[in-house]
Every structure is written in C-alpha cells, then in structure tokens.
Structure 1
Amino acid sequence: MKSVRLVVTYDAEALHPTHELVCESPRVDREYLLEGRADDGVETVLSYVEGDAEPYERVLESMDGLLEYDLRAAGDGFFVYARSELDDRGRSLASAFDRETLVVVPPIEFRPDRTMALTLIGHPADLQATVDGVPSGLEASVWWIGDHAQAAGGRLTDRQREALAVAHELGYYDVPRSVGLEAVAAELDCAKATASTLLRRGEARLVADAVVGRGR
C-alpha cells in the first residue's frame, strides 16, 4: 500500500456553490469534509466550516438538488449535515474515487484558492487511476507519495500545518516566546480566535501521533 497527498484544482465554472463561497466570501474561510458517501446519485456529507453560517446557509437554500441539511454552531464555525443529488461532474468525481483498494483519510479540505486537498491510501494502480480519472474542469496534482503509515500526517489539515509553520517561523514556540498569538493571526490573515483554534488542534494531533508512535 502507498499513501498519496492529492491536490485537485477546480476551474472557476467547476466549483461547487459552497466551495465557491469559500473562495469568494470574507465571512467563510475553509470547509473540511469529515465524512461522506454517495449512493444512487445522492451524496451525504458531514462537514465542518470555519466562518459564518448565515451566508453558507443562503447558498445551501439556493442550490438545485439539495434534499436536506442541518447546521449546528461549534467553536469558530459550524457543522453541516447535507444530502444532495449529484450532477454529472459530481458523479464522475465520485466514480474516480470509487476504487476497490482506495481509502480516503479525512478530512478533505476545500480551500479559498479553488483547490481540494486530501490524503489517499491504496494500491498504486488504483491511486494512479484516481489521478487520471478526475473529470473535466479539474486537475489533480500529487504533492507527495509515501508508505501508508505516513498518512497519519494527513490528519493535519493544510491550514493547520500552515499555522504551525508560521508560528514556528515567527518564534511563537521559542522559550521564551518571541511573538504572541496576535502576530501569528496577522501573518495568517485570520482572527486571533481562529489562529488559536488552528494551533491547538494541530498541536493535539501531533501529540496524539507522537504518543501512539511511542507506544508501538
């Protein structure tokens, strides 16, 4: 088995309406798909969105094919449960990831630069078939390939990894600290509360991986 970090870039016209909101609205930062499945042309997903629920809900209510949804506030964002009918491109994308040996390591991150980032584990042939099988309007790029054990690092979202890297570079982890959380938030161009959440969640995942690894 191999693990792959895949980044899929969308053409502007290929964006899902909620991903388009992430790209265009200053009130919605990022969306993380935590769990999802597609059956008989219907997609059911659970996501966490960083930002304001009000514009996101407006977009949901205007979507064609939406069957139901539920939003619940949490932390600096909200959870979304949604079921919707897949369009042709959505069906093609779901088919590209429907491989016998393939596992998607959550979360899938929808980012404001029109990209989707995710980690996959599977046989090399199925991984390559997925890269080759993305539909028109999308372009898949492989960021790294490794042993499947490396996919544990994929539990860090790219935004969390960016926040940790920025904090390290600025001296937030120096002893004593060279800068405070305000400097990290300014560099990330986000609210102080958002920067704090990104760092705490990233740190928690790194610590959990370190403890598990030590125990083996």
Structure 2
Amino acid sequence: MRAITFVVTPPKSHPAYQMFDEESQFTRERIYNLNVLEDGTMVLLGRVRGDLEQIRLVVEAQLDTLGFSISGTDGDGGLVYIHVHPPTEIKRFLELPREHEVFFDFPVEGTRDGKLRFVMIGETNEVLQQALADMPETMDFTIERISAYSDESGAVLAVLTDRQRDVLDVALELNYYDAPRQATHHDIAEQLGLSVGTVTEHLQKIEASVFGAFR
C-alpha cells in the first residue's frame, strides 16, 4: 500500500475558513470523520479547541448549517458534530474515494494555521496520482510526501492525550528531534504558553508512550 500526505487550504470564501484561520481564537485539532450524504449535504465529527460557547455562536451564524451539536466538559474545547451544505469544491474532493480506488486515513489533522493534513491511501502510486489529478482546480493543496503506508504512526498517536499531541506537534514543527537538535524545551514552552517544567514532563511521557508502543 502507498500513501500521499498533503495539506489542504480550505476555500477562503467559505465562512468556516475564517473560523480556523491564523488569527482565529479557535483551533481545529482533528476531524474524526467526514461523509457526503446522498442528498449532497455533508456531516462532520471533529474536535476543536477554544471556548465552546463562542464556537456554538459561530456555527449557529453559518447560513449553510443544517444542524449541529457540541459536547465538552470545560472551556478548552470539545467534540463538534455539524450537518452542512458543503462548498462545491469540498464536496467534489470528498467524493474522490467513490471514483478512485483510494481511501482517506482518519483522523485528519488540523494544522496550526487553519489548514488540514490529509493522508490518501491506495494500492499504487499511479492510483493515487490519478485521484490527485481529479482534485478540484480551485482546491489549493501541497504534497508533503509519498511513501509506503503504515498504520503504526496512528497506533502510537492514539495512546497520547490531546495536550501531549499539541506538545509533540510543536516539537516536530521546531525540529526538536533533529540531530543536532534545533530547539529546546524553553522554545516549545514559549510557543505553547506553558512552563518549561510542564513541557519537560509531557515530553517524557510522550517518549515513554512511543517507545513502549514498539516493544
């Protein structure tokens, strides 16, 4: 099996993009599932970080929202289910697996600047390239890598908490695990607004979980 990892920029003309752009107070952490229904509408289940009441007000204001529910126990985010009329290019994009022998790997990660990182899986590079060739022309995407598909990374991430994933994302973004190391615990802490001690504790737990998953 082969996989293409690419980052998609949602259409800026759509209100949902402004909700998660670089200047937004909300963060789209990950999408657990996306599905286009027979009537052409779309349902989405994902996790967002931010004030849930403010998220509720923004979702309610979207003219294309048909229904939604938000669940969470604190003011730091929660699960969001939304039923909407999707933009044409998004609908076309999500229908690619119906027309090609490919799959999307879930969950889909949200990046810190409001984009979405997808992994598309197929039997061969040719099948994946054919699917990408049918991407809507208005869809802005950047390919990050083409590689053999392995589900080991998903299994490892599944044992991490949401906060540990945040710390790991920033550590990777700052090249903390490069040799030689390009960042310190202080750099990661500054980026996340955490104390150095908290970041150190999280990294220790992350590394223990990752190493333990491969025993």
The answer on 1:117 being equivalent to 2:121 is no
Relative to structure 1, the CA distance from residue 28 to residue 80 in structure 2 (aligned partners, 3 Å threshold; closer, same or farther) is same
Q: CA deviation at 1:59?
A: 2.0
Relative to structure 1, the CA distance from residue 92 to residue 59 in structure 2 (aligned partners, 3 Å threshold; closer, same or farther) is same
Give 2:138's aligned residue. Answer: 137
Q: Distance in 1 between matches of 2:12 and 2:205?
A: 31
- Which structure shows the bigger proportion of residues in helix conformation? 1
CA RMSD of aligned residues (A): 3.3
Q: Contact 1:134–1:140 at 8 Å: present in 2 too?
A: no
Q: Contact 2:103–2:120 at 8 Å: present in 1 too?
A: yes
Equivalent of 1:206 in 197, 210, 213? 210
Relative to structure 1, the CA distance from residue 53 to residue 202 in structure 2 (aligned partners, 3 Å threshold; closer, same or farther) is farther
Q: In the TM superposition, what whole-angstrom CA distance separates every residue of 1:62-101 from its partner, at most 9, and x where no partner exists? A: 1223221111125742110111223322321222343443
Alignment of 1:54-65 (within 5 A): 54-65=53-64
Give 2:169's aligned residue. Answer: 162
How many pairs align? 196
Q: CA deviation at 1:58?
A: 1.9
Indicate the SS of the match to 1:106: coil
Give 1:176's aligned residue. Answer: none
Indicate the SS of the match to 2:107: strand
Give 2:16's aligned residue. Answer: 18
Q: Percent identity?
A: 19
Relative to structure 1, the CA distance from residue 101 to residue 66 in structure 2 (aligned partners, 3 Å threshold; closer, same or farther) is same
In structure 2, give the amino acid aligned to 1:164: A
Alignment of 1:71-150 (within 5 A): 71-73=70-72, 76-123=76-123, 124-149=125-150
Q: CA deviation at 1:208?
A: 6.1
Q: Distance in 1 between matches of 2:4 and 2:45?
A: 23
Which sections of structure 1, spanning at least 5 residues, go unmatched? Answer: 173-178, 212-216
In structure 2, give the amino acid aligned to 1:192: L
Q: CA deviation at 1:102?
A: 1.7
Give 2:5's aligned residue. Answer: 5
Alignment TM-score, normalising by the size of structure 1 = 0.72
Indicate the SS of the match to 2:20: helix
Q: Contact 1:160–1:201 at 8 Å: present in 2 too?
A: no
Q: Contact 1:121–1:127 at 8 Å: present in 2 too?
A: yes
Indicate the SS of the match to 1:27: coil
Relative to structure 1, the CA distance from residue 148 to residue 27 in structure 2 (aligned partners, 3 Å threshold; closer, same or farther) is same
Relative to structure 1, the CA distance from residue 87 to residue 2 in structure 2 (aligned partners, 3 Å threshold; closer, same or farther) is same
Q: Contact 2:102–2:127 at 8 Å: present in 1 too?
A: yes
Q: CA deviation at 1:163?
A: 2.1
Q: Contact 1:8–1:141 at 8 Å: present in 2 too?
A: yes
Q: In the TM superposition, what whole-angstrom CA distance separates every residue of 1:24-46 from its partner, at most 9, and x where no partner exists? A: 54421333111221121121111
Q: CA deviation at 1:111?
A: 3.1
Q: CA deviation at 1:127?
A: 1.4
